[in-house]
Amino acid sequence: MKNNSLNLSTMKVLLVDDTPANIDVLRKTLQPEGYEISIAPNGKIALSIVDRVLPDLILLDVMMPELDGFETCRRLKAKDLARDIPVIFITAKTETEDIVKGFTLGGVDYIAKPFRQEEVCARVRTHLQLRASMKQVEAQRNQLEEQNKKLAELNALKNKFIGIAAHDIRNPLTGMLGFSQLLMDYSNELPAADRTQYIKLIHSSSEKMLALVNNILDISVIESGNLKLVVRPDSLEELCRERVHIFDFNARNKNISLQPSIKEIGALPFDKHHVSQVFDNLISNAIKFSPQGSNVHISVEKDGNAAKVSVRDEGPGLSEDDKARLFGAFQKLSARPTGGEKSTGLGLAIVKKIVEAHGGAMSVESKLGSGTTFSFSLPMK
């Protein structure tokens, strides 16, 4: 009677015996159980098979020429990957000394010759069930370790968020508090120009704080695995034109020219809101790190089965160290904005996660003094 509750039919059994008649009996006995059966006529071949394909169980004859079953088992257990494979000895030698030797070498059971088919099936099934259970436990343990590692990473990231966010929020908050206090205490005495300037500073600080909070919320949602995409067929070309138009004013304020090159590629599935974030981050970064009088090139084109968007600036470029840290959270790079703009160090981390959530990929090409090109691709289907 087969017991496949642990999917034993997928398990591999290696039969090792120098007597073809014995191999034939064992094969015919075990074939109805559905196991994947391999055969070795001696110990050396058995060891070579184990090096290529790890079986889940080995039935090993003891009395074989050149390399007997005991020595084969000893060599098998010396292999790191094969150490845990259960070995059942098959032998007519049933003296206590031989049985003890087999267990000492790592065997888990004995089957005495001549074979009794029901006994062979029962012993093999029992040890395969144990093997399958051990694999399940090992898989669960590895999964638990991976989850614990991920939790530790998320906890460390959370602590980093709290520390950096508190620092980055405190400075503008202090300024807002000071300027608002001046407005409350000396509103009637302050010249209109000063009041307007203080209000502008408060507004600017509020925008920076809101941007930081939004980024923290975005990265928190992404890292917790709760990013929800609303994917619909849409035009990446139209979205690119829209975002370029929105950032054209910022670019002209720094005497930077946006140069779009947009090819028609047809509708493709993506989340418009989140891909807008990707465009905004890459275009704003290019403007932020570009010198006055330079160009920012934005392209949309088909690349095989994907749509590819590239944003290339003529800025200072990135060092190898900067490129290695680009997509980490809260990474401040050696390159500095050319107009005194601020950065939370979260944008590229968010962008990469959004693109990957779409099944796409991010890339960067840059050399010091030669500008930087950020690209992302989205699958067409």
Domain 8-115 is in which class?
alpha beta
Taking only the tens place, the pLDDT of each residue in 222-273 is: 766 777 888 999 999 999 999 999 999 989 999 999 999 999 999 999 999 8
Domains of the chain by residue range: 8-115, 150-223, 232-379
The answer to whether residue 221 scores a pLDDT higher than 50 is yes
Q: Could you tell me if residue 204 is left (phi over 0), alpha (psi between -120 and 50 degrees) or otherwise beta?
A: alpha
pLDDT of residue 207: 76
Q: pLDDT class for 215, splitting at 50, 70, 90?
A: low
pLDDT of residue 2: 43
The answer to whether residue 301 scores a pLDDT higher than 90 is yes
Which range, of 57-61, 255-259, 327-331, 333-337, averages the lowest pLDDT? 333-337
Taking only the tens place, the pLDDT of each residue in 22-69 is: 999 999 999 888 899 999 999 999 999 999 989 999 999 999 988 999
Instruction: Give me the CATH code for the 232-379 domain, please.
Output: 3.30.565.10
pLDDT of residue 127: 92
Q: Could you tell me if residue 374 is left (phi over 0), alpha (psi between -120 and 50 degrees) or otherwise beta?
A: beta
**What distance in Å separates the CA atoms of residue 200 and residue 269, rounded to the nearest whole number?**
40
CA–CA distance from 149 to each of 5, 90, 144, 261 (Å)? 31, 44, 8, 44
Cβ-contact 9, 2 below 8 angstroms:
yes
Identify the architecture of domain 150-223 in CATH: Orthogonal Bundle (1.10)
Look over the chain and give the mean of its residue pLDDT values, rounded to a whole number.
86
Helices (DSSP H) in the chain: which residue ranges? 20-30, 43-52, 69-77, 96-104, 117-186, 192-223, 236-253, 272-288, 320-325, 347-357
**What distance in Å separates the CA atoms of residue 260 and residue 263, rounded to the nearest whole number?**
10
| Assigned token pair, 228 | 């929800």
| Orientation angle between helical segments 347-357 and 192-223, nearest 10 degrees | 40
Taking only the tens place, the pLDDT of each residue in 282-291 is: 999 899 889 9
